[in-house]
Amino acid sequence: MPPRGAKHIEEKHMSSIEQQLNELIANMTPEQIRKVMTQVKTNGPVKVDTRYKARRIALTQLYHNTAPKPHMCDDFADYVNHSDSIRQQVNYE
């Protein structure tokens, strides 16, 4: 745990850095700002690959569309065997 009042000191330090940066920016010409901004890397939008997620969703939908319901089978053992075979077929496609 930081000593009492340490946060207050840190905030003062940060505000002085911010103040110095603001002064530097105010003194810069548009051309200098442009040069700095071309060298500064920004976190732009990143394309996310969703093929893996789409495949998982498609497999889940395929399983639930083809899997038997418990009331469709004669007994629970038939239901389990049939649903397991459907699951194996879906996973290998």
- Residue 14 falls inside a structural domain: yes
pLDDT band at 12 (very low <50, low <70, confident <90, very high): low
Please tell me the total count of domains within the chain.
2
pTM: 0.41
State whether 59 and 86 are in the same domain: yes
- Residue 1 falls inside a structural domain: no
- Residue 75 falls inside a structural domain: yes
- Residue 79 falls inside a structural domain: yes
State whether 30 and 59 are in the same domain: no
Domain holding 60, by residue range, is 51-92
Averaged pLDDT of the chain: 80
The closest of 50, 86, 84, 51 to 65, measured between CA atoms, is 86
State whether 32 and 59 are in the same domain: no
State whether 55 and 85 are in the same domain: yes
